[in-house]
Chain A
């Protein structure tokens, strides 16, 4: 693939104190590509998404989104300097995120959870925002739940609201951080179905952290195995999930697929 990547990590390091979470990471994603990130706990999977969503700053390197530096901006002499608030706000328009714990706004109805940001941030009229919310709630099969509060919904329903809420802003890139890990097993399917549908019908770049290997195989163009803040191994899902080259990857997959051992 020779196209300009929509996401590019260029020798990115991220540390918490002495602990290195991302270690000189190089990582690229092509437009419309569906990439799944797998790896052991603490390997930096969430951090990659959180850096992209501007929730976590980086210590070294440059992250590019849509060709523009995310955490930096160009000064007059074409040198990179740390980004200011206005730059971050412009860049955030390109990304949307779905959180493991849903993070819905409990004091707003489902409809307002969806329409508040488009109205206040994008300046949509109430009618436009309601219209958009209606369409997306239909897409996630929650057309009749618009007037409920998040606390009145099941976890699976809440997460589908979470997906719709992120889509309301029409991002080019969607980030999913273990979107089904907080759900009871019987509710996982309905959320995965919605995400799969989204992948099939929308021109979206999708970056997802998940432990649902079967699902990863179905929807991903590429699977990346993270270990200690680096990509140890990556490739098409069949290759990584069925015949990984690295021993660490094999150990990890064995543990995930045989949780009871």
Chain B
């Protein structure tokens, strides 16, 4: 077998990796906003919930989170009589999203904090409600600030997807391992996998740059 024979199975794996990355990055972004905003909310319950989430998911390893969702959760489910056995894809996407969301929440919070206090005062003087201040003044100015760190997190997330091969999900890393076991052609296979991950990371970075430019257009008009 030569490298062209590896291409089809590796591409299949790459496609799974792309799906995992897209779903978990999108869900992770949603979690980032919910808990990043909740982190400094007026309601104490919301604040504590957010702190708990952020600290737990940043303070433990992704691997443990993944195994917990996939292996431990069903056992708890059994004990209380509910089927909590997740499909590998679901467990994978969930673990990745929860993990990246915890880091993203800190990014959202930091970006919101970086909006100058004077903007807040101008908004109060114009009698905006707290919710309007958040949606119309703070977030639109904070989102461009979030984009570079979000880009890094998205690439980090892409690389982290390799871990889900450990719960038998057929992603790129999993396929590579399969073929290698079969052919022992480590050098070729891992070189190809390396390049494929790198290519995907390049595309992802470019996409994030594009997005960054779009949401921050008012900053370049000056």
Q: List the interface of chain A (C-beta within 8 A of B).
A: 53-55, 89, 92-93, 95-97, 99, 101, 103-108, 116-117, 120-121, 149, 151-152, 165-166, 169
Contact = CB atoms under 8 A, between A and B. Distances in A.
B125 A55 contact: yes
B127 interface: yes
A260 B134 CA distance: 46
A99 B118 contact: yes
Given A55-B121, A103-B121, A116-B136, A169 B127 contact: yes
Contacts of B77: none
B122 A54 contact: no
Contact of A93 (B127, B128, B218): B127
A105 B122 contact: yes
Contacts of A116: 126, 136
Interface residues of B, number: 19
Contacts of B221: 149, 151-152
B222 A89 contact: no
A173 B119 CA distance: 21
B21 to A, nearest CB: 29
B140 interface: yes
B129 interface: yes
B124 interface: yes
Interface of B: 118-119, 121-122, 124-129, 132, 136-137, 140-141, 218-219, 221-222
B132 A121 contact: yes
Contact of B125 (A92, A120, A149, A152): A92
A89 B129 contact: yes
Nearest to A153: B222
B218 A107 contact: yes
Contacts of B219: 106-107, 151
A228 to B, nearest CB: 25
A106 B127 contact: no
A92 B132 CA distance: 16
A188 B126 CA distance: 24
Contact of B222 (A54, A117, A121, A151): A151
Given A149-B221, A152-B221, A92 B127 contact: yes
Nearest to B116: A103
A116 to B, nearest CB: 6
B115 to A, nearest CB: 10
Contacts of A95: 125
A117 B125 CA distance: 10
A166 B125 contact: yes
Name the 5 nearest CB pairs between A and B, nearest first.
A151-B222, A103-B122, A117-B126, A97-B125, A92-B127
B218 A99 contact: no
B82 to A, nearest CB: 42
B209 to A, nearest CB: 19
B132 A106 contact: no
B118 A53 contact: no
A152 B221 CA distance: 8
B127 A121 contact: yes
A96 B222 CA distance: 27
Given A116-B126, A149-B221, 18 more contacts: A53-B121, A89-B127, A92-B127, A99-B122, A101-B118, A103-B119, A103-B121, A104-B122, A105-B122, A106-B218, A108-B218, A120-B132, A120-B136, A121-B132, A149-B222, A152-B221, A165-B126, A169-B126
A7 B218 CA distance: 39
A46 B129 CA distance: 24
